[in-house]
Structure 1
């Protein structure tokens, strides 16, 4: 009986932390979802008077609207950062699906990127899947020092994962993006997602360090804390650069769900490897969480496919020039491709 009584406060504390993480994660999704739209407006406005971000331009840095969107995203990321201090990544990260819904609805209203009826069903599936994961998420493991996180990060399994991610990112950046970045969305988003899975693990470590420091156990004196901080800085800058390229080149309603699916899948994988989240759960809980995640994937897939249906013959690739509204000719064929075909004939 004594053991049961001792276990109850710990369990309650873990549940309370999960609720805090849940609220912070939901707030983060609202801000981030809105930021996609504001940044897209800023990118379009900047692209009308300068070299577009999708072609290596940085004129958006002079656009106040883009900075407004960036500020909104930063607020969302701060809330997300705080969420990782209280709840496991396997709970916080999938809740990014809410940002997809916010982004899709606002894109429909503000950017006039039509949302098909099945896209609405996709939003509902995202909510159902998120709820399933929330109800069956593991409680945060008790970590008392940033050194414990460092020990987890330097285990062979996670070091192998990190090495594979870094190698793949370098190959994509230097080989595939110069050739296919403007026509294949997966390369820009792939870099963001791969780097993002490492950044979340570092954000998790850094947020735990700050949480412990604020509670009276100083973690800033450990060099590991600053290593995690540097990794976060490098990863976030890389993500921001390639996400801007993706947003400027492709339709927002396509970028958001694909980024979410790839980023969340890789982050859950990284979290399972590093923090061993599933070691604290039984098979039923794990299977239920995976079903919830598959439900979210189904929702994002619907959002993606029905966007194509709503656009009809429009390509998901955006124009190079501001005066070419869609950059498409008849039957959805890019204008440059049509011109080339006419010259050959």
Structure 2
């Protein structure tokens, strides 16, 4: 019944739709790292709206994310011209990408059925690895589905091909699995730990999958590829720094509240308490009894 809740929900939906559309017009090597900008916007808005203090290291993390993103945008590869969903299907069925998909499925099954019951509650890498691996496949399917819908809206109907519906099924399966284990990770571990680890793993695996499937780096000069890698490293480092420092103020305040007293102050307070006990006691036996109860 809260209008503000609906405003937030609609804003999130619009943002995810825009992110979905972006994969239809730009390579995943460019779109995925730019997801760090949402972290910057969230940190800045939280600083002004929620009174969550943004520290100097957090500002440095924002600057690093922006600088790395600029480098990636400048050296990003050009989007390939695709005229049919069957072209994407041919890319998805090439031996190199099929080997990647098979490896991801095997690793995910091992993590889900063996490592997750044993170490899922104690090791943050289990749930985040499942989310990241499935996320890399979901992004590839989202890009294929988005391109199909774009071509359909342009007048070339792609819904008549079974490949389009297959990519839609893969998107639904991967996203549901990804969200399930991401929620488990956030329920089990601190957000400041899960978020940077998940972002680094998800971004790295997505870029790897895109390079294998769409061959984003083919035709690029070594200098451009090195620049993209350096920009990605800067963005990942800034993201980690921003997440690590965002709860610094709360942690410092909690430590100051529960900090132990100094030895001299503790001795003085104990002495005053013992004197108070002795003043209220009428006999030596009562004093000894009250001292014992106090300790």
- TM-score band w.r.t. shorter chain: 0.7 to 0.9
* TM-score when normalising by structure 1: 0.67
Unpaired runs of at least 5, structure 1: 1-62, 315-324, 332-345
Over aligned residue pairs, what C-alpha RMSD do you find? 2.9
* TM-score when normalising by structure 2: 0.77
Q: Which residue, out of 163, 177, 195, partners 2:134?
A: 195
Q: CA contact under 8 A between 1:195 and 1:235: conserved in structure 2?
A: yes
Unpaired runs of at least 5, structure 2: 261-295
In structure 2, C-alpha distance between the alignment counterparts of 1:278 and 1:239, rounded to whole Å:
27
**What's the offset of the Cα at 1:310?**
4.5
What is residue 59 of structure 2 aligned with on the other side? 120
What is residue 108 of structure 2 aligned with on the other side? 169
**What's the offset of the Cα at 1:81?**
1.1
- Between 180-189 and 229-238, report the one with greater CA deviation: 180-189
The verdict on how the C-alpha distance between 1:135 and 1:147 changes in structure 2, with shifts beyond 3 A counting, is same
1:299 aligned onto 2:238: yes
Trace 1:1-345 onto structure 2 (pairs within 5 A). 72-106=11-45, 115-307=54-246, 309-310=248-249, 312=251
- Between 215-224 and 101-110, report the one with greater CA deviation: 101-110
What is residue 284 of structure 2 aligned with on the other side? none
User: For each residue in 1:97-126, what CA deviation from the matched residue of structure 2 results, as whole angstroms up to 9, or x when unmatched?
Assistant: 112223334555677766442122111101
**What's the offset of the Cα at 1:171?**
1.6
- Between 169-178 and 87-96, report the one with greater CA deviation: 169-178
In structure 1, C-alpha distance between the alignment counterparts of 2:6 and 2:22, rounded to whole Å:
24
**What's the offset of the Cα at 1:95?**
0.4
SS at 1:218's partner residue?
A: coil
- Between 238-247 and 290-299, report the one with greater CA deviation: 238-247
- Which structure's relative contact order is higher, taking Cα pairs within 8 Å and 6+ residues apart? 2
SS at 2:217's partner residue?
A: helix
In structure 1, C-alpha distance between the alignment counterparts of 2:214 and 2:166, rounded to whole Å:
18
**What's the offset of the Cα at 1:308?**
6.8
**What's the offset of the Cα at 1:196?**
0.6
